[in-house]
Amino acid sequence: MRTQRSSRIVIAFRSLVACALVALGLVAFGVSPSAVADTSHDWRVLAGSQSPDGSVTGARFLPGEIWIDQGDTVTWVANSVEPHTVTFFPGNGEPSGPFNPGDPSQVTRIGSGAADGTYQNSGLLTTVPAGEDFGPFPPFVTPYQDYTLSFPDTGDFVYYCLVHGVMMKGTVHVAAAGTAYPFTQAQYDAQAAAQARAIRLDGNRLRAHALAESGQHRVMMGADDGTAMVMRFLRPSVTVHVGDTVVFDNSQSMGDPHTVTFGAEPMGPALDTYVPAATYGGGDLSSFVPPGLTFAVTFTQPGTYHYICALHDVQGMTGRVIVRP
Q: How far is the CB of 260 from Cu ion (least distance, A)?
A: 9
Q: How far is the CB of 248 from Cu ion (least distance, A)?
A: 11
**DSSP structure string for 101-168:** TT-HHHHS-BS-SB-SSS-EE---B-SSPTTS--SS--TT---BSEEEEE--S-EEEEEEETTTEEEE
Output 292-296 pairs: Cβ under 8 A, ≥24 positions apart: 292/250, 292/251, 292/253, 293/250, 293/251, 294/247, 294/248, 294/249, 294/250, 294/251, 295/247, 295/248, 295/250, 295/260, 296/245, 296/246, 296/247, 296/248
Nearer to Cu ion, 84 or 258 (CB): 258
Nearer to Cu ion, 196 or 310 (CB): 310
Specify whether the CB–CB gap between 136 and 271 falls below 8 A.
Answer: yes
- Residues with Cβ < 8 Å from 162, sequence gap 6 or more? 85, 87, 95, 99, 106, 107, 121
> Is 314 strand, coil or helix?
helix
Nearer to Cu ion, 102 or 291 (CB): 291
Nearer to Cu ion, 44 or 164 (CB): 164
Q: How far is the CB of 269 from Cu ion (least distance, A)?
A: 18
Q: How far is the CB of 203 from Cu ion (least distance, A)?
A: 14
Q: How far is the CB of 198 from Cu ion (least distance, A)?
A: 22
Nearer to Cu ion, 66 or 311 (CB): 311
Residues of this chain that interact with Cu ion (CB under 5 A) are 258, 309, 311-312, 317
Compute the distance between CA of residue 26 and CA of residue 12 in angstroms, rounded to an integer. Answer: 19
Q: How far is the CB of 287 from Cu ion (least distance, A)?
A: 12
Nearer to Cu ion, 93 or 276 (CB): 276
Q: How far is the CB of 222 from Cu ion (least distance, A)?
A: 6
DSSP H or E segment with residue 277: strand 277-280
Nearer to Cu ion, 18 or 81 (CB): 81
